[in-house]
Structure 1
Amino acid sequence: MFARDSRLRQWLGQWLPKRPVTRRDSPATARGGQGDVDRVRRQYLESEQRFRALLESLPKVAVQGYDRDRRVIYWNEASTRLYGYSSDEAQGELLEDLIIPDAMRDGVIAAHRAWIHESVEIPAGELELRHQSGELVPVFSHHVMLNEHTDEPLMFCVDVDLSDQKRAHRDLEFATRFDRLTHLPNRQTFEADLDEVLDGCRRRGLGLALLYLDIDRFVEINDALGYEEGDRLLIELSRRLSEQLRATDLMSRVSGDEFVLAFPGVHREDDVMRVLHKVQEVFRRPFGLEGHKRSITASLGICLFPDNGAGARELIRNADVAKNQAKLEGRGGLRFFHQHLHDDLVRQHRLAESLERALDNNELFLHYQPQVSAASGRIENLEALLRWEPLPGQPVSPQEFIPVAERSGLIHRLGDWVMEETCRQRAQWRDAGVKLERIDINFSGRQMGRHDVFERLEAHLRRYRLGPREIGIELTENVLIEADARILEGLHSLHHRGFRIAIDDFGTGYSSLSYLKQFPVTSLKIDRSFVRDAPGQPEDRAIMEAAVFIGHRLGLEVVAEGVENAEQLALVRDIHCDLVQGFYFYRPMPADAIERLLVGGVQSLGSLSN
C-alpha cells in the first residue's frame, strides 16, 4: 500500500525536523559559535512547527507516523476523522491493530519488514482500511520511509479519503443503469439482462413473453394533479408490478409512463393469458392520487420469443409496435404482435419520407368537387380535396397518406400548403371574373391542435385579400367534441365574422346532438354511408330525415355527400336536402377543368339529365 514517490519524499523531507549535528568544534569555532547553535535550534523548532501546522491543516489527507515496530508515533486530525481514533487513542498502538482488516494483516506486516530489511518498497494504490467502528474506508495510500538505513526507521503513511469519489462513482453507476424514481433497471440495463436471459432460453429450449405497458392518459394526470402525484403513481405501479413477478422475471421503466416486463418460460397460450391476467389485476384496484381513489388503465402490447424476435432490442420494438396499436383502440387496449404490424409500420415510415419529399418536389395538387343545389343543379360551392401523384409512381389515396401525415406531424405542412393553394386559386378565379361563392377546406383534428392554426389561416386570407364568404372550413364532429377552449374561441371568432363552418361526415361520430347548439356550425354534411343505403334501408332514410329536420330547425344548411345515382338524388330531394355532392353530378376535378365548368364550357351527366 506504499509507494516509491520521490516527489512526496522530497516534499516531506524538507519539512521534517532534522536533529542538529553534534561535532567537535575547533577552539576558533567554539569561541564564537554559541550564536550559530541558537540559530540552528531556532530554525529546527520553526521547521517542526511548520511541518506540524501543515499536516494538521489538510482535512482530507490523513498522515500517520510509525516506528520500526509499526507503532504509532504521529496521528494528525484528519486521521481521526478518517479512522475514528483520537491521537491519544492511537499513540503507541500497532498499525495492524488499528486500521488493517484481518485479511490484510499478515501481508502488511510482511511488506513492512521487507521494506526495512530488504528495501522493497510497496506500491501505492487504492485500499479499503478499517474504521474504529469496523466499517471499511476507501483510501488512496502512499508510504514514505525515512532513516530506512538506520536503527530508527520511520514510516509515514499518507492516506487520501476516497469516500466522496467512491460515492459519486456509485451514484453515477446507479444513474447509468437504473431509473432514479422507481429504482428499476433502465432500458439499457434491461436490454443487456434480457439478452442474457434469452441466451439461457435458447440453450434450454424455452420461450419468453415480453409485455410493453403504457399508462393511458398519463399526461393528463401530470397536467391536472401535478408531477408529484404522477411520480407517486409510477412508484406505486412499479411496486404492485414487482409483487407479481417471479425471481426470474425482468422489469424496467423504459420511459416516462412506459414499462416492459419479460417472463422467461412463458410461451403457451394459457401461460401467456395467466401472465396478462396478473398484470391486468394490478389495475383493477384504484390508485390513491391527491387523497382520492382513481381508476387507472394501461395499453398493453405483447410479443413472444422466438416467434416475434431473436434479440432483446427486436422484441422490445415489436412489443412497442403492438402497444401502439392497442392505444388506437382506446383505454385498456391489448394487442399481440404480428409481423404485418411491423410491415405496416415500416411502410408508413417510408410513406412519410416520400410525402415529405413530395412537398419539396411539387407532387401535390388540389382537385375541387362542386356542391350543387338539390333543387336546381346549380353549382353553389367547391370543396378542395388534396391529391398526391408521386414522380414516378401511382397516385396515393388520401385515406392512406392523411393518417400517415397526422401520425408523423407532416399534417401541419400539408395543411399550410392546402390553405395557401386554395386561397391562391380562389383569388385567381376572383380576379378572372369566375363566378363562385366559396371553397371549403378540410381541417383534421391534429391540425386543429396547433396553437396558431387560426392565425395561419388569417394570414393566407390577408395575403390574397379574401373575405369570410370566399373560404369556408370543414371539421369532423369528433374534432368539435374534443375541442379545447382555444379552438372553440377561434371558431366562434370566425363564425361571428361570417365564415361558413361545416360538420363533415355527420352521423358517424358521437351520438350526442347537444353540440349542435353549443358549437358555431353553419352546415351539416350527411355521411355518404347513409346516402348509399337509404333507398333500400328504412333505418338509414329515417336517420337522414331526422338529420335534415334537426339541421333546418337549427337554421343549418344540410348537404348530402356521395350521391351517385338518380335514386339517391330523388331521395335527398324528397327529404329536402339543400345541397348535393357526389359523382352523379361531378367528380373531383383539377382547377382548369373546374374553371371551364364554371364559365359554362362543360356540363355534368347529372346536370344534363335534370
Structure 2
Amino acid sequence: MFRRGTRRLLQWWKGQQEAAVERKARRTVPASTSEVELVRRRYHESEQRFRALLESLPRVAVQGYDRERRVIYWNEASVRLYGYSAEEAMGQLLEDLIIPEPMRQAVIDAHRAWVDEGQEIPAEELELRHRSGELVPVFSHHVMLGEHTDSPLMFCVDVDLSDQKRAHRDLAFATRFDRLTHLPNREAFETDLDELLDQCRRRGVGLVVLYLDIDHFVEINDALGYAQGDQLLIELTHRLRRQQRATDLMSRVSGDEFVMAFPGVAREQDVLRLVDKVRSAFRSPFALDGSERMVTASLGASVFPEHGMTARELIRNADVAKNRAKLDGRGSLQHFRQHFHDELVRQHRLVERLERAIVNRELHLHYQPQVSVVSGRIENLEALLRWTPLEGEPVSPAEFIPLAERSGLIHQLGDWVMEEACRQQAAWRAAGRVDSRVDINLSGRQVLAPDTLERLEACVARHGLRPQDIGIELTENVLIEADAGILERLRYLYHRGVRIAIDDFGTGYSSLSYLKHFPVTALKIDRAFVRDAPEQPEDRAIMEATIFIGHRLGLEVVAEGVETAEQLALLREMRCDLVQGYLFHPPMPAEDIDRLLVGPGVGHH
C-alpha cells in the first residue's frame, strides 16, 4: 500500500513539474512580475506539501539523489532504517552510504544508464547496508524526476522487509525443526535420511535406525508438570548429541520419541555398540524438580538395506520394533523382525473388524456360574464377552480385549456389555428365575474414563434393576491407579448395594492396604494359584492366606479356574466361599443358563 501510494505521489509531482514547464514554453508574451511570483509561490507550496506527505509516511524510507548520486533528501524513516541522520547523509554519495561493496559498481552503472540512456532501474528486493555494517532487507523502488533536463533527480523509496524476513525465517524453522529441542522434525529427518541413504548406496555401506521412546514419560509430566518434562527432553537431547558423529542424524519425532540414524553400520556387534552408546545417556540421573530421577527408554532397531530401502520404511520398522520392546519392560531393545510387522497389520485389520462387530451382531455374552462350596447352589453369574465373526473362527477374548484397550474401542464394547447384561438380568427377573447376581468386568480404561460408573448406574435403573442385581469386577491395578473422584464414586455404589470384586487377586501390584481403604466386597483368587495349589506348597500358602485375610476383613472369596476334585477338596478345607470353573459349569449362552436355572437340582455338581 505504501509503495503504490508513494509512487503515485511522485508521479503526480513529476507531472506537476512537467506541466509547469510546458505552460511556460507556450507563453508568447513575457509574464508580469506578479505572475512569476505567483507561479513560484505555488510551486514552493506544492513542494512543501510533497515533503510533508513524504515525512508523514513513517515506514517508507525516501531518499533523493542528484545527478552525481549525492543525497539531497533524507526523510525520518530513512534515519530509522539506515542509522544516518539527515545531516550526516546530506551530500554523501549513495554508493558510499548504504550500498554494500559487491553492489557498488552495478549501482553506479545502473544510475548512469538511466540518466544517459533512459533505462529505468527495476523495483526489487535488496539488502542494503546499515550504518553499523549490518545488512537491511528492503523493497526498493526508484523514480527519476527531470530525466530530460540537466539536473535529473533520483528518488529511492525503500520499504523495510525485516519483519517479513524474520517471519519467513521463523516459519522455515518451524517447518523443519522442533521448537523445544531444535532438532529436525520428522519430515526434515525423513528428507535428510533419504539423502543419506543415497550416499550409503553409492558407497555400498549399511545404516542403522534407532527409535527411542522414554519409558513412562507421561508419569513425569503428570507428577512434576510439563516444564520438568520439557527440561528432561532438553537435557536428553544434549546427552544424545554428545554421542553423535558428524554424519549421524537425530530427530525428535513426537512428545517423548526420538529417532537416530547411524551410517556405515550393519554388523550385529556394531549395532549393539551403538545401542550401548545411546543407553549411556541414561546411566546418570536427571535433575528434575530439585531431585534426581533415573530414566529409561525402550529402543527399536532397523537396518538398511535388510529392513527397508527408504527412510519411511526404516523409521516405521524401527518404530514397530520399539513398540515390541515396550512390551518387554523398561529399557528393553528389540531388533525388527518381519513377523512383528505382519502381526501389527493383522491386529490392525482385527480392530477394523471389531469396530463392525457390534453392528453386525457378532458379539454376545456367555455366563459362568459361581457355585457355593457348601451348598453347591448357583449364587452369582459372571458375564463374559465373546466374539464370533460372521465369517471365520471365534476370536479369543485374550486377543481382542487387549486390542480394544489399546485402540479405545473398549468404551464402546463396555457400554454394549453393560446394556446386554442388564437387559438379560431384567429378563431373568421378569421370568422369576433364581435371585442370582450378574457380575460384569470393567477394564482399567473404562473405570478411569469420565462417567463410566454413572452410565452403569443409569443402565441398571433404566432396566428396572436393583443395585444388588449387577456387580462389577475390577483388577487390583485399577484401584491403585484410581483417583479420589473415582474412589468416591465406587464408595457411593458400594453403599448403594453394588457388589465390587477384585479380579485376579495376587497377580498385580498387590497391596493389602487398599483392602482396608477401598470399597471392596469380594476377592477372586486367580486361576494360576488354584491350578497348582495341590502340588505347589507356595501356591497353596498364598491361596490359604488370601482366604484367611479376606474372611477376617469380612469379604467374600471366590476361586477361579476350579477344574479338578483335588482343587475343590482343598478349597473346601480352606473354607472358600464360592468356586467358579469347568468342574461345575463352563461359560454358557443365556439360553443354556436359563435352562440350568429352572432345571432339576439347580446349582448342584
Alignment partner, residue 173 of structure 2: 174
Alignment partner, residue 577 of structure 1: 576
Alignment partner, residue 161 of structure 1: 160
Alignment partner, residue 57 of structure 2: 58
Alignment partner, residue 482 of structure 2: 483
Alignment partner, residue 98 of structure 2: 99
* Equivalent residues in 2 for 1:490-505, closer than 5 Å: 490-505=489-504
Any conservation in 1 of the 2:213–2:297 contact (CA below 8 Å)? yes
The SS at the match of 2:467 is coil
Q: What is the deviation of 1:315?
A: 1.8
Q: What is the deviation of 1:441?
A: 0.6
The SS at the match of 1:473 is strand
CA distance in 1, matches of 2:600, 2:90: 115
The SS at the match of 2:52 is helix
The SS at the match of 1:246 is coil
Q: 1:461 to 1:222 in 2, by over 3 A?
A: same
Is 2:165 the counterpart of 1:133?
Answer: no
The amino acid across from 1:40 in the alignment is: V
Q: What is the deviation of 1:532?
A: 2.0
Q: What is the deviation of 1:469?
A: 2.0
How well do the aligned residues superpose, as a CA RMSD in angstroms?
A: 2.5
TM-score (normalizing by structure 1): 0.93
CA distance in 1, matches of 2:216, 2:18: 74
CA distance in 2, matches of 1:219, 1:18: 77
CA distance in 1, matches of 2:334, 2:314: 14
CA distance in 2, matches of 1:359, 1:80: 74
Gaps of 5+ in 2: none
The amino acid across from 1:46 in the alignment is: E
Q: What is the deviation of 1:14?
A: 4.3
Q: 1:82 to 1:503 in 2, by over 3 A?
A: same
| CA deviation string 1:71-94 (max 9, x = no partner) | 222222222222222222222222
Is 2:210 the counterpart of 1:211?
Answer: yes
| CA deviation string 1:355-393 (max 9, x = no partner) | 110112211111111111223322111110111111122
CA distance in 2, matches of 1:194, 1:43: 70
Alignment partner, residue 147 of structure 2: 148
Alignment partner, residue 241 of structure 1: 240
Alignment partner, residue 319 of structure 2: 320
CA distance in 2, matches of 1:77, 1:395: 83
| CA deviation string 1:308-366 (max 9, x = no partner) | 22211222222222222333334333332222222222111111111110112211111
The SS at the match of 2:501 is strand
Any conservation in 2 of the 1:373–1:580 contact (CA below 8 Å)? yes
CA distance in 1, matches of 2:169, 2:406: 41
Q: What is the deviation of 1:242?
A: 1.3
The amino acid across from 2:73 in the alignment is: Y
Alignment partner, residue 470 of structure 2: 471
Alignment partner, residue 523 of structure 1: 522
Q: 1:378 to 1:15 in 2, by over 3 A?
A: farther
CA distance in 2, matches of 1:8, 1:283: 67
Alignment partner, residue 436 of structure 1: 435
The amino acid across from 2:173 in the alignment is: F
Q: What is the deviation of 1:16?
A: 6.1
CA distance in 2, matches of 1:540, 1:425: 37
Alignment partner, residue 405 of structure 1: 404
* Equivalent residues in 2 for 1:60-459, closer than 5 Å: 60-459=59-458
Any conservation in 1 of the 2:468–2:498 contact (CA below 8 Å)? yes
Any conservation in 2 of the 1:16–1:51 contact (CA below 8 Å)? no
CA distance in 2, matches of 1:312, 1:120: 52
CA distance in 1, matches of 2:408, 2:187: 28
Alignment partner, residue 10 of structure 1: 11
The worse-fitting range, judged by mean Cα deviation, of 438-447 and 136-145 is 136-145
Q: What is the deviation of 1:19?
A: 6.8
- Aligned residue pair count: 601
CA distance in 1, matches of 2:24, 2:502: 112
Q: 1:46 to 1:7 in 2, by over 3 A?
A: closer
CA distance in 1, matches of 2:316, 2:278: 20
CA distance in 2, matches of 1:132, 1:517: 78
Gaps of 5+ in 1: none
The worse-fitting range, judged by mean Cα deviation, of 383-392 and 304-313 is 304-313
CA distance in 2, matches of 1:452, 1:330: 31
| CA deviation string 1:5-35 (max 9, x = no partner) | 98576234246698777679778x76xx444
CA distance in 2, matches of 1:6, 1:577: 97
Q: What is the deviation of 1:458?
A: 0.6
CA distance in 1, matches of 2:18, 2:116: 24
CA distance in 2, matches of 1:40, 1:86: 33
The SS at the match of 1:138 is strand
Is 2:48 the counterpart of 1:42?
Answer: no
Any conservation in 1 of the 2:74–2:86 contact (CA below 8 Å)? yes
CA distance in 1, matches of 2:394, 2:28: 117
The amino acid across from 1:360 in the alignment is: V
CA distance in 2, matches of 1:539, 1:35: 125
CA distance in 2, matches of 1:503, 1:518: 13
The amino acid across from 2:40 in the alignment is: R
The SS at the match of 1:496 is helix
Any conservation in 1 of the 2:377–2:602 contact (CA below 8 Å)? no
Any conservation in 2 of the 1:18–1:44 contact (CA below 8 Å)? no
Identity %: 72
Q: What is the deviation of 1:418?
A: 0.6
CA distance in 2, matches of 1:478, 1:223: 18
Q: What is the deviation of 1:413?
A: 0.7
The worse-fitting range, judged by mean Cα deviation, of 67-76 and 33-42 is 33-42
The amino acid across from 1:66 in the alignment is: Y
Q: What is the deviation of 1:503?
A: 1.6
CA distance in 2, matches of 1:60, 1:332: 58
CA distance in 1, matches of 2:26, 2:54: 35
Is 2:593 the counterpart of 1:594?
Answer: yes
Q: 1:510 to 1:87 in 2, by over 3 A?
A: closer
Structure 1: 4+ residue segments shifted above 4 A: 5-9, 14-27, 601-604
Any conservation in 2 of the 1:374–1:573 contact (CA below 8 Å)? yes
Any conservation in 1 of the 2:476–2:510 contact (CA below 8 Å)? no
CA distance in 2, matches of 1:372, 1:188: 60
| CA deviation string 1:135-165 (max 9, x = no partner) | 2111111222222222222222222211111
